[in-house]
Structure 1
């Protein structure tokens, strides 16, 4: 079975908001997600996370800690995505995604989470727990 690996960066600001991107192909419904993407050849999960956050949001970031590995099978492909807690260390909100999949960058409040259309539905509960608004 083919393997696809990637990383996701989860960042909470001082107001308890989560850094998110609205993404999708030109002819697809646009859905919200944390910045994430696939590993390039020779890249570590950490390097992938930092690069994807920069490409998708314009923010420079550093890894705070490893959170969890999400695994599954999508269309016959084994998928592994390493989630990291990150913090913004510089840069400005700016879409510079080479794939052209990012349409908006936003800091989303917990109160907005239930209203957002998520690309990965299972992330909603995790992000609410992460912000402390939903007890584990």
Structure 2
């Protein structure tokens, strides 16, 4: 089975809101994430993906867990990190042109919106409590 490795960022601001992104042609939201490139560490991937998808520079505060799944014939491993934003967003600059919106979502918001990865909801709720 082919393998795919990625990183995902849980970024909570001072107002207890989580940074989320919305993909093109989709009504679902997800935390910033993406595939690890050749020669990249999971941490470097996480920092790059958040910058591309949201415009924020971040620092990694904690390595959380690895989510393992099987998706479309791939063995998928996603490294989850708790991160902190530095400064303000310079705007979305996604080379894949997948991300159309980025925003901060409160606990109330995340219970209302559609999730690209519903299994992440529980994790996010823990951080926003």
Work out the number of aligned pairs and report it.
129
Q: Shift in Å at residue 104 of structure 1?
A: 0.6
5+ residue gaps, structure 1: none
> Of residues 54, 60, 65 in structure 2, which corresponds to 1:63?
60
5+ residue gaps, structure 2: none
Q: Deviation per CA, 1:7-26: give whole Å up to 9, x if none.
A: 001111111000010114xx
User: TM-score scaled to structure 2, two decimals?
Assistant: 0.96
How do residues 1-136 of structure 1 correspond to structure 2 at under 5 angstroms?
1-24=1-24, 28-132=25-129
Q: Taking structure 1 as reference, are residues 93 and 110 closer, same or farther at Cα in structure 2, changes over 3 Å only?
A: farther
Q: Deviation per CA, 1:29-77: give whole Å up to 9, x if none.
A: 2310011000000100000000000000010001000011000110110
- 1:94, 1:122 → 2: CA distance? 28
Asked if structure 1 preserves the Cα contact closer than 8 Å seen for 2:17 and 2:107, the reply is yes
Superposition RMSD in Å: 1.0
* Structure 1 stretches of at least 4 aligned residues deviating more than 6 Å after TM superposition: none
